[in-house]
Structure 1
Amino acid sequence: MTDRIVHVASAAPYDVTVGRGLLERAIDALPGASAKVLVVHSAPLAPVADRLRALIEASGREPVLAEVPDAEQGKTAEVLAFCWQVLGKSGFTRSDVVVGLGGGAVTDLAGFVAATWMRGIGVIHLPTTLLGMVDAAVGGKTGINTAEGKNLVGAFHEPLAVFNDVQFLTTLPRHDLVAGLAEVVKGGFIRDGRILEIVEDNLDLLSAAGPQDGARASMADERTLDDAALPILEELIARKVAVKAEVVAADLKESHLREILNYGHTFGHAIEHVERYQWRHGSAVAVGMMFAAELAHLAGRLSEADVERHRAILTGLGLPTTYASDKWDALLAAMRLDKKSRGDMLRFVVLQGIGNPVRLEGPDPALLLGAYGAVSR
């Protein structure tokens, strides 16, 4: 099957390739001057990292592997310092390269490692989760978490290339796959309405067994992906990447337009913070989009029908749309740390209709409480 290639026309242009069997393609993308390659990976991907090691050696370069904790547990200052130590002891120079192999947390970390080593070396991303493929690995945002919040420390550092190999998704637990679909449908809500139509037409292939809370479920009883869904996912991934590519090419450092990519994230990141990152990111963003839709409706910007379309798509996929009713003070405190906030003024991305994101600045506290009530359980 022909690969889909999305070009990101930023100041340092690169391609995002969507297809199958892309490990060798990633090796071909290594710069000719690179002598050493650091592969940052999580423990479950050790067998794939070993395959990469062999391919890197066959290309005449020296591979170095750095295994890091899985998911958000790997995005800490301690893990970052460990990666720096590996680079230093291995003698990495400015011509060498980092490869991020794993989910969005790993590519966030690997990108920040590359951004900070010798003030910036090359990085190539091989995301292995849907969330990583459509969001974290594309656009140059890198970073780690702190006790005060998510992604508060980081840098903008664009990759040399991104390879989205959908074969990785065939073994991804269904609930983690569906959590990634939250970011896909976000692209539909803010820009490409065709994404929503494709999801609505294929809920039977894409959905989880039923609505979930946001916490990680047991892996033992989760279904994996039907092969029939792969062509659908390839189109959805390419479309969502195209949405992000258009935005980041115009606004890499989030000074204006790029803020629209944070639809659902202000409330969603607050949930993650309050839950100590035990919720999946996509699950938290799903509730965050529902909150933003209810807020926009109360502010007179979004129709009730569009609010219900949010609910139908998200619940149809098996994503959560509600949250605990007794957490408002903690959520509000967390939202005040959001990167879009200015001083004491909260700023939200909301919709003025599907495909038309706008900013809502300093909304009346009564509207915020009303939206929270609408998504409380």
Structure 2
Amino acid sequence: MQTLMVELPDQRQYPIHVGSGLLDDGDTYARYIVGKQVMIVTNDVVAPLYLDKVRAQLEARGFGVHHVILPDGEQHKTVEMVERVWRALLEINSNRRVTIIALGGGVIGDMTGFAAACYQRGVAFIQMPTTLLSQVDSSVGGKTGVNHPLGKNMIGAFWQPRAVIIDIDTLATLPARELSSGLAEVVKYGFIRDSIFLDWLENHMSALRGLDPTALQHAILTSCAIKADVVAEDETEQGVRALLNLGHTFGHAIENHQGYGNWLHGEGVAAGTAMAAHFSQELGYLTAAEVSRVETALISAGLPTHAPQGMSTESFISLMRRDKKTLDSGIRLVLLKALGEGCMEEGVDEARLRAFIEAYPRDTLTISA
């Protein structure tokens, strides 16, 4: 097991533990539980795989453990599902010393964190991410929330976990498409912050897709280290943390338009990243060769680089206007000044953006094996 610390203002901090077999070692996570009450939140895909294991570890250590199982899928990331968590907590008279554990992917982590932030105005929670995407991105940094039919992640709160427990063995049960979705967030870190990591990823993509444990551990640790550094600098996304959203403004629009869950989050982000790279070239930041390198990295991870067939320019623009990064000055985009150097483009010329989107290639979603 290897450990990183997320350092926050006011001397707050929490660990990210990464290794194999961590869910089988209750001592690794029991130390972060407050009080004796535990509520595990998971979904109907993850529960048959890991719920009994985690529950048994905690019950053997004297905790009173309850659970709630939610339906799987981005389409279920709603206030109504969080209400189920609150109801479950109230039905067992959970007090302010309850600890809620998020056992699942990013959807479960985001909803559980939001439930914890609101229940009795804030209780402890622990992240146990079981997908690559959640391990390298959503479990770290304290962003929690739900989707709305008019916009993704528009309702939520910043609420940091007490710990993040990443058991890379859980990736063995992850479908290949979900693994590729997580790789979209991994390569993002190379694009915006670390060209050396990008070089490494280009040389080890086959190993990552083949679930090589050494490669996975390195990729997860490096990704988490980059995110931890950014979060330490800008916890509530007032500045540099927005760079972590490379591809997300285009990507969230795609997810919303296609229907949550039809395009996976990482697939939308990948297509959005390719679009951001091309727009960076149009503004004179990237060369054609650099854009080609971005696309090659995404394709080698099994990800799309096109916009969806049938998604109009007006659909893109209207949905992008609702993005959280949009300010009074208009649409803001995370772009690339160079490979390894992200930048925020303020007040994007909407006429130019429209023309770019209109000309951008469309295709149906196809996933390489």
What TM-score, normalized to structure 1? 0.91
Indicate yes or no: 2:339 matched with 1:354: yes
Work out whether residues 4 and 17 of structure 1, in 8 Å CA contact, stay in contact via their aligned partners in 2. Answer: yes
Which residue is equivalent to 1:218? none
Work out whether residues 347 and 359 of structure 1, in 8 Å CA contact, stay in contact via their aligned partners in 2. Answer: yes
Indicate yes or no: 2:336 matched with 1:336: no
Q: CA deviation at 1:369?
A: 3.5
- Aligned partner letter, 1:360: E
Q: What does 1:63-82 correspond to in 2, within 5 Å? A: 63-82=65-84
Q: CA deviation at 1:22?
A: 0.8
Q: CA deviation at 1:365?
A: 3.2
Q: Matches of 1:134 and 1:371 in 2, distance apart?
A: 31
Aligned residues: CA RMSD: 1.5
Q: Matches of 1:131 and 1:193 in 2, distance apart?
A: 20
Residue by residue over 1:71-111, the C-alpha shift from the partner in whole angstroms, topping out at 9 and shown as x without a partner, is: 21331111111110111111111111000000010000111
Work out whether residues 194 and 341 of structure 2, in 8 Å CA contact, stay in contact via their aligned partners in 1. Answer: no
Q: What does 1:141-152 correspond to in 2, within 5 Å? A: 141-152=143-154
Indicate yes or no: 2:17 matched with 1:34: no
Work out whether residues 280 and 336 of structure 2, in 8 Å CA contact, stay in contact via their aligned partners in 1. Answer: yes
Work out whether residues 307 and 360 of structure 2, in 8 Å CA contact, stay in contact via their aligned partners in 1. Answer: no
Which residue is equivalent to 2:45? 44
Which residue is equivalent to 1:220? none
SS in 2 for 1:331: helix
* Aligned partner of 1:260 among 243, 246, 249: 243
Q: Matches of 1:185 and 1:371 in 2, distance apart?
A: 24
| Farther-moved stretch of structure 1 (194-203 vs 253-262) | 194-203
SS in 1 for 2:103: strand
- Aligned partner letter, 1:341: T
- Aligned partner letter, 1:5: T
SS in 1 for 2:308: coil
Which residue is equivalent to 1:7? 5
Q: Matches of 1:103 and 1:29 in 2, distance apart?
A: 22
* Aligned partner of 1:299 among 275, 280, 283: 283
The number of aligned residues is 355
Which residue is equivalent to 2:366? none
Q: What does 1:135-174 correspond to in 2, within 5 Å? A: 135-174=137-176
Q: Matches of 1:266 and 1:98 in 2, distance apart?
A: 31
Residue by residue over 1:250-284, the C-alpha shift from the partner in whole angstroms, topping out at 9 and shown as x without a partner, is: 11111111100111100000000001111110010
Q: Matches of 1:375 and 1:246 in 2, distance apart?
A: 35
Which residue is equivalent to 1:117? 119
Indicate yes or no: 2:362 matched with 1:376: yes
Residue by residue over 1:288-338, the C-alpha shift from the partner in whole angstroms, topping out at 9 and shown as x without a partner, is: 111111111101122222111101111122210002354211111110000
Distance verdict in 2 for CA 1:203–1:55, change over 3 Å: closer
| Farther-moved stretch of structure 1 (344-353 vs 361-370) | 361-370
Work out whether residues 207 and 215 of structure 2, in 8 Å CA contact, stay in contact via their aligned partners in 1. Answer: no
Q: Matches of 2:19 and 2:308 in 1, distance apart?
A: 39
Work out whether residues 298 and 367 of structure 1, in 8 Å CA contact, stay in contact via their aligned partners in 2. Answer: no
Q: CA deviation at 1:362?
A: 2.3
Q: Matches of 1:313 and 1:300 in 2, distance apart?
A: 21
What percentage of aligned pairs have identical amino acids? Answer: 39
Q: Matches of 2:361 and 2:5 in 1, distance apart?
A: 38
Which residue is equivalent to 1:235? 218
Q: CA deviation at 1:30?
A: 2.8
Q: Matches of 1:177 and 1:289 in 2, distance apart?
A: 17
Residue by residue over 1:12-68, the C-alpha shift from the partner in whole angstroms, topping out at 9 and shown as x without a partner, is: 20011110111224433333x411000000112223112222122111111010001
Distance verdict in 2 for CA 1:149–1:39, change over 3 Å: same
Q: Matches of 1:342 and 1:86 in 2, distance apart?
A: 38
Work out whether residues 26 and 124 of structure 1, in 8 Å CA contact, stay in contact via their aligned partners in 2. Answer: no
Work out whether residues 234 and 241 of structure 2, in 8 Å CA contact, stay in contact via their aligned partners in 1. Answer: yes
Q: Matches of 2:73 and 2:35 in 1, distance apart?
A: 28
Which residue is equivalent to 1:95? 97
- Aligned partner letter, 1:65: H
